[in-house]
Structure 1
Amino acid sequence: MPQPIPRPWRITRRRRLTWEIAIVLGLSLGASAVYSIVSLVAKLTDDTPLASQSTALNSAQSTREWLDFTYQSLAIFFDLVPVALVLYLLAISGPNPFRRIGFDLRTPARDSARGLLLVLVIGVPGIALYFIGRAAGITVNVVPAPIDAYWWTVPVLIASALRAALTEELIVVGYLFTRLRQLGWGQWQIILSAAVLRGSYHLYQGIGPFFGNVVMGIVFGWCYTRWGRTMPLVIAHWIIDIASFVGYAWALSTFPGLFRLS
C-alpha cells in the first residue's frame, strides 16, 4: 500500500506552488497588472479628463524601419518566454502539459467552432462596451495599431495578437487554473480570481475595459472548466485581437479622417 504523505511535505509543496505562482505572475501578467494600476492612478490624477487621454498598443519603437521591426520582433519573442516557462513547469510536475490544458490539435474543428462562438459572444459586445465607456468618460482612447505602416506591419500585428492570446490564455487560464486547483481552490473562486487579474492588467485602458475584461475572464474561465481546453480560448482571443489591431490599421489607412475625432 502507498504510504501516506507526511504533513510537513504537504506544507512544503503548498508553499512551493504558492511561490511558483507568485514568481510566474511577477515575470508576466502580474507585473503588467501592477503597472496598469499605477498607470490608471496617473491618468486619474492628471488634469486632463480620462476620456481625453490616449494609450497606444503596438506603437513604433524607432523611426528607423529595420530597427522598429527588430524591436517589435524581440518584444514578441521575449513576451512568450513566460508561456514557455509555465509549459515547462507543468511538464515537470505532471503528464503532457499540452494535453493537460487542452492546447493541442486533437479536435481542431470543434475548437475552431467554439472559438468562433466565443468571438460572437465576447468580441461584438466588447466593441460596444468600449464605445459606451468612451461616451461615459471612463475609457481612454485606445490606439491599437501604429500610424506609420510598413510592408511587415500586418504580419507583426497578427503575431502580436497571437502573443497576447497565448500569454493570457495559457498563463491566466491553463496554468493558473491548474495550480489553484492543486492548492484546493474552488471552481468559482478560481474563475473570479483569474477574471479580476485579467481585468487588472487592462486598467491602463481605463475603468471600462477593466469590467469588460472581467466579464470576458468569467466567460472564458467557465468555458474552460466545461471544455477542459484552452485552444478555443486562444483561437477566440487571437481573432478578436487581429480584428482590433489589423482592422484599426486598415480603417486608419482607408478612412483617415474618422480617427481625428477620437
Structure 2
Amino acid sequence: MDIAAPAPAAAPAPVTLPSRSRMRAEVLIVLGLSLGQTAIYAAIRLIERYMDTAPIASQSTTLNPSRSSIDWIDLIRQVLGIGFALVPVALALYLLSQHGASSRVRLGLVGPARRWWGDVGWGVVLAASIGLPGLALYAISRALGQTVRIDTSGLPDMWWSATILLLSAAAAGVLEEFVVVGFVLTRLRDMGRSPWTAIVIAALLRGAYHLYQGWPMALGNVAMGLVFGWVYVRRGRLAPLVLAHWTLDAVAFIGPEVVPHAWLEALGVV
C-alpha cells in the first residue's frame, strides 16, 4: 500500500531544515538521553537474563517500583521521576521548532474539534487492536518460558498510588510516541528516508527498549511500532498514538490492582 502521502492537519508553512549531519546528531543526542540509552541497557539485561542460572520464566521485572520506604518521600520521587522523564520530549519539540517551524503543526497537534474527536476514535481503535493481541502474546510467551513475569506496580497501598500509575502511563505514552514517532520518524523522513524505512527503523527501536521483558515481547512491540508508524504517516496526527499508548499502559498498570487474581491466573498473565 502506498503511504507516501500523509494527511496533515493543516498546510504547514515552508520549513528550512537543518543539515543532514545536524539532524543525525540531534537524533543521537535525544536518543542518548532517553530511549536509545534504555534500549542499550535492555539488550544487556536480556543477555544477563539468559546467562542467569534461573530460567527466564521464573524471573520478573517491576515497572513502577517504590522509590523510598518513607511514603511522602516515595510520592515526591515518583512525581519527580515522571517529570524528568519528559525532559527529552521538551528537547525534541524544541529541535523540531527550529527555523520558523512549528512542532505542533508538524506533529498534527492542531485542527478543529472534529479532528481531535477523530483522534480519540482512532486512539480507542488502536488500543483495542493492540491490547488484546498483546495480552495473548504475553500469555503465550510466558507459557513458552521466554518472557519474564511483569509486575506492573511495586507501589505501596497508598491513596496516591493509582494516580501515580495513571500519570506514569501518560508519561510513557508521551515519551515514547513523541520521541520514537514524533521526533525520530519525522527526522528520518527529513533526512530523505522513505516512509516505510523510517517506520521500520522506529519500530525496531521500540522493540529494542522492551528487550528486558524477553524477545517475544520485543517482537510484539515491533509489530505495534509498525502499526503506529503506518497510522501516523497516513494521518499525520500524533495524538491517537499517545492516547492509545496511555490507554494500554493505564489498563496494564491499574488492571492487576482491580481484576481478581483468579481471573489473571486463568488468563495466564501472572
The TM-score normalised by the length of structure 1 is: 0.91
Deviation of 1:245 (Å): 0.3
1:18 is aligned to: 24
CA deviations 1:42-96 (Å, max 9, x no partner) are 1010000011100001011111100110111111000000001101111124422
Residues 159/62 of structure 1: CA separation in 2 closer, same or farther (3 Å cut): same
2:93 corresponds to which of 70, 73, 87: 87
- Secondary structure of 1:142's counterpart equals strand
Residues 94/206 of structure 1: CA separation in 2 closer, same or farther (3 Å cut): farther
1:38 is aligned to: 44
Paired amino acid for 1:92: Q
Alignment of 1:173 with 2:181, yes or no, is: yes
1:119 is aligned to: 127
Return the alpha-carbon distance in structure 2 between the equivalents of residues 236 and 196 of structure 1: 19
1:216 corresponds to which of 221, 224, 238: 224
Alignment of 1:93-242 (within 5 A): 93-104=99-110, 106=112, 107-146=115-154, 148-242=156-250
Identity, in percent, stands at 45
2:80 is aligned to: 74
Return the alpha-carbon distance in structure 1 between the equivalents of residues 71 and 263 of structure 2: 25
Return the alpha-carbon distance in structure 2 between the equivalents of residues 72 and 128 of structure 1: 30
1:65 is aligned to: 71
CA deviations 1:127-162 (Å, max 9, x no partner) are 110111101111100001125221000111000000
Highest RCO, 1 vs 2 (Cα 8 Å, sep ≥ 6): 2
CA deviations 1:82-137 (Å, max 9, x no partner) are 00110111112442211211134632210000000101110111111011110111
Return the alpha-carbon distance in structure 2 between the equivalents of residues 165 and 93 of structure 1: 27
Q: How many residues align?
A: 249
1:4 is aligned to: none
- Secondary structure of 2:150's counterpart equals strand
Residues 250/193 of structure 1: CA separation in 2 closer, same or farther (3 Å cut): same
Return the alpha-carbon distance in structure 2 between the equivalents of residues 169 and 257 of structure 1: 31
Paired amino acid for 1:163: A
Contact 1:146/1:249 (CA < 8 Å) preserved in 2?
Answer: no
Q: Which runs of 5+ in 2 are unaligned?
A: 1-16
Detail structure 1 runs of 4+ shifted over 4 Å in the superposition.
256-259
